[in-house]
Amino acid sequence: MDTTPGWAGQALKGARPAVFWSDRPDAPAAAPTLNESVNADLTVIGGGFTGLWAAIQALEEQPGLKVVVLEAERCGFGASSRNGGFCDSSLTHGLENGLSHWPDDLKTLVRMGRENLDEIDETIDRHRIVADYQRAPGVDVATEPWHVDALEHSKDLHAEHGLDVELLDTDTMRARVNSATYVGGLLHKNDLALVDPGRLCWGLRQAAESLGATIFENTPATAVSVDGTKIDVTTPGGAVRSERVLMATNAYPGPVRRPRRYVIPVYDHVLMTEPLSSEQMSMIGWKQRDGIGDASNQFHYYRLTEDDRILWGGWDATYHFNNGLDPRHDQQDATHGVLAEHFFETFPQLEGLRFSHRWGGPIATTTQFTATWGTTHEGRLTWVAGYTGLGVAASRFGARVGLDLAFGTTTERTELEMVRKKPFPFPPEPLRWAGVQMTRKAIQTSDSHGGKRGLWLRLLDRFGVGFDS
Ligand SMILES: Cc1cc2nc3c(=O)[nH]c(=O)nc-3n(C[C@H](O)[C@H](O)[C@H](O)COP(=O)(O)OP(=O)(O)OC[C@H]3O[C@@H](n4cnc5c(N)ncnc54)[C@H](O)[C@@H]3O)c2cc1C
């Protein structure tokens, strides 16, 4: 029962507890369920962006390869169709995070991230995927004076790495998007695309199938075992025997335990408004249709859709004890209520606008906020997970590296320290839960104290670990 007061509470009444991007009548029919035993060259477990990009890239490079994708639910069931659709070139969860972990590789990582985004553009064109995909300016907005200092520093760092950015003063920022909460901004000119992630999943699934992949939906992988030179993946209706397996289940545990030390599921929540009228659009400006994030540690992200709705998400990232995953976590009245209140604080001129959808989903995070890779089962199974909140574009790179490792190919990518070295593992429960709660609290305190990092955050910084969404 939602008890959010005022306009925010009114606006939430009647919002469908469903993911806007996939809550559509034009969803494709389900792929078949595996009900026999089959052979393949490559088995992919998980049909989100990582799994689908793995199938596409493997088949574009090795036409004729026999690729089977096993998806427990429907392709895109996980984070891939629940996200904000910010397709950002960064492979390192932002430049600052990249600098703190991989200073020696950062130039290479920036180049690879930009190439990856260009190749996403090209693939979408080549396969004629209709997913409202377009390059868009990105803006980090400052809503507190201390954010302005942080953005100035960020501007210098981006410029040093050849990224095209521009500082916006209060008036310029407010003229761009009309919110009295803004005191400045940092415009990123060339490193973002916005996309409808649900339709991107459907388009990637179709592209993979057109290249020859066989996709089974409603087919969870339940066990994996090596038999001589082959690896078997068991599902309730049959097994797949292949040379190699790529496990791409991200926040979900999958049939192999190894990633669970390094990757935890964290829930992020989203609201979608009804379409804005032309009068409401003229009250907020937003003519360049920027993808926006605010510069707090605990941040909001927001954007317009094709039909002039506003997607508004972020703020409170929640971890549930023992890597808890449950569809009930998708709907959190308190979190959705706070998000709605923040929405109307940012855009009070939109009072009266209602939310049509509310949802949440699990982000997979590591202590360094980026993907990590590993191999098990005598090198026959490769896994990749952990993009945190920036996996829409990075999942293509994650899949590409996963294929390098699965096929035993040494490349510039596999030589990156980010790929070779694992992040610091999360401690076991109950320390894991306690550590995450302490860190969340410390982040909130930092935001309300001008960004000053207290003792706990400084200690974590020293060990190169943290918690983010
Ligand atoms: C609310 C939210 C907002 C986000 N916003 C953004 C954003 O704007 N920009 C951005 O870059 N990133 C964002 N992200 C992160 C991004 O969506 C993810 O990093 C990315 O989608 C990860 O893709 P994936 O394929 O690795 O994982 P998923 O999409 O989670 O796919 C994993 C798949 O594996 C399947 N699976 C699980 N277990 C099994 C099994 N045993 N057998 C077979 N299949 C299995 C699942 O059903 C699922 O479909 C957001 C995430 C969330 C939750």
State pLDDT tens for residues 9-57.
999 999 999 999 999 999 999 999 999 999 999 999 999 999 999 999 9
Q: Supply angle C-alpha 220, 224, 228, rounded to 5.
A: 145
Domain count, the chain: 3
Q: Provide the 10 A C-beta neighbour count for residue 154.
A: 20
Q: Residue 23 domain-assigned?
A: no
Q: How far is the CA of 250 from the centre of ligand 1 (A)?
A: 6
Residues 357, 283 share a domain: yes
Residues 12, 71 share a domain: no
Which atom of ligand 1 is the closest one to the Cα of 387?
19
Domain that holds residue 289: 6-17+134-192+267-363
Which residues, at least 6 apart from 102, have a Cβ–Cβ distance to it below 8 Å? 92, 109, 416, 417, 418
Residues 106, 238 share a domain: yes
C-alpha closest to that of 238 among 219, 213, 218, 212: 219
Q: What is the CATH number of the domain that holds 215?
A: 3.50.50.60
**What does the alpha-carbon distance between residue 109 and residue 56 come to, in Å, rounded to a whole number?**
22
Q: How far is the CA of 75 from the centre of ligand 1 (A)?
A: 10
The mean pLDDT value for 148-173 works out to 96
**What does the alpha-carbon distance between residue 131 and residue 124 come to, in Å, rounded to a whole number?**
9
Question: How far from 169 is each of 75, 164, 190, CA to CA, in Å?
Answer: 43, 17, 20
Q: Specify the residue for token string 């388009």.
A: 203
DSSP strand E in 181-315: where? 184-188, 192-194, 214-216, 223-227, 230-235, 238-242, 244-247, 264-273, 291-294, 300-304, 310-314
**What does the alpha-carbon distance between residue 359 and residue 284 come to, in Å, rounded to a whole number?**
25
Residues 124, 36 share a domain: yes
Is the pLDDT score of 455 beyond 80? no
Residues 313, 280 share a domain: yes
Tell me the pLDDT tens digit for each residue of 166-225. 999 999 999 999 999 999 999 999 999 999 999 999 999 999 999 999 999 999 999 999
Which atom of ligand 1 is the closest one to the Cα of 248?
26
Q: Which residues line ligand 1 (CB under 6 A)?
A: 45-51, 70-73, 77-80, 82-86, 88, 220-221, 248-252, 254-255, 268, 270, 313, 361-363, 387, 389-392, 395
Region for 378 from its dihedrals, namely left if φ exceeds 0, alpha if ψ lies in -120 to 50, beta otherwise: left
Phi, psi of 124 (to 5 degrees): -60, -40
Q: What per-residue confidence (pLDDT) applies to 298?
A: 85
Tell me the pLDDT tens digit for each residue of 377-410. 999 999 999 999 999 999 999 999 999 999 999 9
Q: What per-residue confidence (pLDDT) applies to 1?
A: 53
Query: What is the pTM assigned to this prediction?
Result: 0.96
Residues 309, 184 share a domain: yes
Residue nearest to atom 35 of ligand 1 (CA): 46
Residue nearest to atom 32 of ligand 1 (CA): 249
Q: What is the CATH number of the domain that holds 334?
A: 3.30.9.10
Is the pLDDT score of 468 beyond 80? no
Residues 182, 55 share a domain: no
Residues 12, 73 share a domain: no
Q: How far is the CA of 62 from the centre of ligand 1 (A)?
A: 26
Pull the structure tokens for residue 62. 């090795």
Residues 304, 448 share a domain: no
CB 21 within 8 A of CB 81: yes
Domain termination residue (choose one: 318, 340, 363):
363
Is the pLDDT score of 306 beyond 80? yes
Residues 178, 271 share a domain: yes
Residues 218, 152 share a domain: no
**What does the alpha-carbon distance between residue 178 and residue 88 come to, in Å, rounded to a whole number?**
24
* Choice between 454 and 386, residue whose per-residue pLDDT is larger: 386
Tell me the pLDDT tens digit for each residue of 246-256. 999 999 999 99
